[in-house]
Protein backbone atom coordinates (compact mmCIF):
# COMPACT_ATOMS: atom_id res chain seq x y z
CA UNK A 1 0.00 0.00 0.00
CA UNK A 2 1.24 3.43 -0.92
CA UNK A 3 1.96 5.40 2.23
CA UNK A 4 0.81 8.97 2.54
CA UNK A 5 3.62 11.37 3.49
CA UNK A 6 3.11 13.09 6.85
CA UNK A 7 1.27 16.36 6.50
CA UNK A 8 4.26 18.60 7.22
CA UNK A 9 6.24 16.96 4.39
CA UNK A 10 3.47 17.07 1.78
CA UNK A 11 4.32 19.45 -1.03
CA UNK A 12 1.86 22.29 -1.32
CA UNK A 13 -0.15 21.85 -4.46
CA UNK A 14 -1.28 25.45 -4.16
CA UNK A 15 -0.29 27.96 -1.56
CA UNK A 16 -2.62 29.04 1.17
CA UNK A 17 -3.79 32.62 0.70
CA UNK A 18 -4.14 35.32 3.31
CA UNK A 19 -7.14 37.23 1.98
CA UNK A 20 -9.39 36.44 -0.94
CA UNK A 21 -11.59 33.77 -2.45
CA UNK A 22 -11.08 30.08 -3.13
CA UNK A 23 -13.38 28.54 -5.71
CA UNK A 24 -13.22 24.81 -5.12
CA UNK A 25 -14.91 21.77 -6.70
CA UNK A 26 -15.03 23.26 -10.17
CA UNK A 27 -15.94 20.69 -12.81
CA UNK A 28 -12.82 19.75 -14.71
CA UNK A 29 -12.17 21.98 -17.71
CA UNK A 30 -14.07 24.98 -16.37
CA UNK A 31 -11.48 26.88 -14.28
CA UNK A 32 -10.01 28.69 -17.27
CA UNK A 33 -13.50 29.58 -18.52
CA UNK A 34 -14.36 31.08 -15.12
CA UNK A 35 -11.15 33.11 -15.09
CA UNK A 36 -12.02 34.53 -18.51
CA UNK A 37 -15.65 35.15 -17.65
CA UNK A 38 -14.81 37.06 -14.48
CA UNK A 39 -11.80 38.77 -16.05
CA UNK A 40 -9.68 37.55 -13.13
CA UNK A 41 -6.46 37.55 -15.14
CA UNK A 42 -6.72 41.25 -16.03
CA UNK A 43 -6.94 42.65 -12.54
CA UNK A 44 -3.32 42.43 -11.49
CA UNK A 45 -4.31 40.26 -8.52
CA UNK A 46 -2.48 37.02 -7.83
CA UNK A 47 -4.52 34.09 -9.18
CA UNK A 48 -3.51 30.49 -8.59
CA UNK A 49 -5.13 27.83 -10.71
CA UNK A 50 -5.23 24.10 -10.10
CA UNK A 51 -6.33 21.79 -12.87
CA UNK A 52 -7.24 18.11 -12.70
CA UNK A 53 -6.84 17.70 -8.95
CA UNK A 54 -8.09 14.54 -7.31
CA UNK A 55 -11.51 14.90 -5.75
CA UNK A 56 -13.49 12.51 -3.59
CA UNK A 57 -16.84 13.69 -4.93
CA UNK A 58 -16.07 14.67 -8.50
CA UNK A 59 -13.24 12.25 -9.34
CA UNK A 60 -11.29 15.21 -10.65
CA UNK A 61 -11.74 18.91 -10.09
CA UNK A 62 -10.34 22.32 -10.89
CA UNK A 63 -9.65 25.01 -8.32
CA UNK A 64 -9.02 28.77 -8.36
CA UNK A 65 -7.53 30.97 -5.65
CA UNK A 66 -7.82 34.72 -6.05
CA UNK A 67 -5.89 36.91 -3.64
CA UNK A 68 -7.23 40.13 -2.13
CA UNK A 69 -10.56 39.88 -3.89
CA UNK A 70 -13.96 38.68 -2.73
CA UNK A 71 -16.44 37.72 -5.41
CA UNK A 72 -19.67 39.69 -5.64
CA UNK A 73 -22.99 37.82 -5.39
CA UNK A 74 -23.49 38.33 -9.15
CA UNK A 75 -20.08 36.84 -9.90
CA UNK A 76 -20.83 33.89 -7.63
CA UNK A 77 -24.02 33.11 -9.53
CA UNK A 78 -22.04 33.36 -12.77
CA UNK A 79 -19.63 30.76 -11.40
CA UNK A 80 -22.61 28.54 -10.60
CA UNK A 81 -23.77 28.59 -14.21
CA UNK A 82 -20.43 27.16 -15.36
CA UNK A 83 -19.73 24.98 -12.35
CA UNK A 84 -22.87 24.10 -10.41
CA UNK A 85 -20.90 21.93 -7.96
CA UNK A 86 -18.48 24.69 -7.00
CA UNK A 87 -17.96 25.78 -3.41
CA UNK A 88 -16.89 29.30 -2.59
CA UNK A 89 -14.59 29.94 0.37
CA UNK A 90 -14.02 33.47 1.54
CA UNK A 91 -10.63 33.70 3.24
CA UNK A 92 -9.67 36.34 5.80
CA UNK A 93 -6.37 36.15 7.65
CA UNK A 94 -5.71 32.60 6.33
CA UNK A 95 -9.01 31.37 7.74
CA UNK A 96 -12.16 30.33 5.91
CA UNK A 97 -14.70 32.84 7.20
CA UNK A 98 -17.53 31.87 4.84
CA UNK A 99 -18.06 28.69 2.87
CA UNK A 100 -21.06 28.05 0.65
CA UNK A 101 -22.23 26.42 -2.54
CA UNK A 102 -22.72 28.63 -5.56
CA UNK A 103 -26.41 28.85 -6.46
CA UNK A 104 -27.73 29.10 -9.99
CA UNK A 105 -30.09 32.09 -10.13
CA UNK A 106 -33.59 31.84 -11.68
CA UNK A 107 -32.56 34.31 -14.35
CA UNK A 108 -29.06 34.13 -15.80
CA UNK A 109 -28.02 37.40 -17.36
CA UNK A 110 -25.05 38.02 -19.61
CA UNK A 111 -23.02 34.83 -19.00
CA UNK A 112 -24.41 32.49 -21.65
CA UNK A 113 -24.04 32.79 -25.41
CA UNK A 114 -27.24 31.49 -27.02
CA UNK A 115 -26.45 28.35 -29.06
CA UNK A 116 -29.15 29.26 -31.60
CA UNK A 117 -27.31 31.00 -34.47
CA UNK A 118 -30.56 32.62 -35.59
CA UNK A 119 -31.20 34.20 -32.17
CA UNK A 120 -31.10 38.00 -32.27
CA UNK A 121 -28.62 38.02 -29.37
CA UNK A 122 -26.01 36.56 -31.74
CA UNK A 123 -26.49 39.38 -34.25
CA UNK A 124 -26.87 42.48 -32.12
CA UNK A 125 -25.25 43.72 -28.95
CA UNK A 126 -27.73 42.38 -26.39
CA UNK A 127 -27.22 41.22 -22.81
CA UNK A 128 -28.51 37.64 -22.95
CA UNK A 129 -31.10 36.39 -20.48
CA UNK A 130 -31.87 32.76 -19.74
CA UNK A 131 -34.68 31.46 -17.54
CA UNK A 132 -33.66 28.45 -15.46
CA UNK A 133 -36.03 25.51 -15.10
CA UNK A 134 -35.39 22.29 -13.25
CA UNK A 135 -36.62 19.14 -15.00
CA UNK A 136 -36.04 16.24 -12.63
CA UNK A 137 -32.24 16.35 -12.19
CA UNK A 138 -31.55 18.35 -15.35
CA UNK A 139 -31.15 22.08 -15.60
CA UNK A 140 -32.98 23.50 -18.60
CA UNK A 141 -32.31 26.99 -19.86
CA UNK A 142 -34.80 28.96 -21.92
CA UNK A 143 -33.56 31.93 -23.94
CA UNK A 144 -35.63 35.01 -23.15
CA UNK A 145 -35.44 36.10 -26.78
CA UNK A 146 -35.59 33.16 -29.19
CA UNK A 147 -37.47 31.07 -26.57
CA UNK A 148 -35.47 27.94 -27.39
CA UNK A 149 -34.95 25.49 -24.59
CA UNK A 150 -31.49 24.03 -23.95
CA UNK A 151 -30.08 21.52 -21.51
CA UNK A 152 -26.96 22.79 -19.78
CA UNK A 153 -24.67 20.51 -21.81
CA UNK A 154 -25.82 22.19 -25.02
CA UNK A 155 -24.36 25.51 -23.89
CA UNK A 156 -20.92 25.57 -25.47
CA UNK A 157 -19.97 29.21 -25.32
CA UNK A 158 -19.82 31.71 -22.52
CA UNK A 159 -19.15 35.43 -22.64
CA UNK A 160 -15.43 36.33 -22.92
CA UNK A 161 -14.64 32.71 -23.76
Partner 1 sequence: MPNFKSRSIISITDLSKSDILHVLKYAEEIKKKPQLDLLKNKIMASCFFEPSTRTRLSFETAMEKLGGQVMGFSQAGVTSAKKGESTYDAMKIIGQYADVIAMRHPLEGAARRASEATNKPVLNGGDGANQHPTQTLLDLFTMKECQKKLSNLSIALIGDLKYGRTVHSLAEALTHFNARLYFVAPENLQMPSHICDHLKKQKIKFSFHDKIEHIINKVDIAYMTRIQKERFGDPIEYEKVKDIYVLTAEMLDKTKPNLKIMHPLPRVNEIATDVDNTKYAYYFEQAENGLYVRQALLGLVLGKLK
Task: Note the residues at the interface with partner 1 (CB under 8 A).
Answer: 116, 118-121, 123-126, 135, 143-149
Q: Which is nearer to partner 1, 89 or 140 (CB)?
A: 140
Q: 91 with 21: CB under 8 angstroms?
A: yes
d(CA 128, CA 151): 16
d(CA 159, CA 110): 7
Q: How far is the CB of 30 from partner 1 (least distance, A)?
A: 26
Q: How far is the CB of 124 from partner 1 (least distance, A)?
A: 5
| 17 Cβ contact list (under 8 Å, min separation 6) | 46, 48, 65, 66, 67, 91, 94
Q: Which is nearer to partner 1, 41 or 120 (CB)?
A: 120
Q: How far is the CB of 111 from partner 1 (least distance, A)?
A: 17
Q: Which is nearer to partner 1, 42 or 106 (CB)?
A: 106
| Backbone φ, ψ for residue 34 (5° rounding) | -65, -40
Q: How far is the CB of 112 from partner 1 (least distance, A)?
A: 14
CA angle 132, 137, 142 (to 5 degrees): 20
Q: Which is nearer to partner 1, 31 or 143 (CB)?
A: 143
Amino acid sequence: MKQKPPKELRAFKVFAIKEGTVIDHINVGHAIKIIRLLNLADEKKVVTVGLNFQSKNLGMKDLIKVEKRELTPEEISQVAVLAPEATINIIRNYKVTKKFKAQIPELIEYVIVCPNPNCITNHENIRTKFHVRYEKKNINLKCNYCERLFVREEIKEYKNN
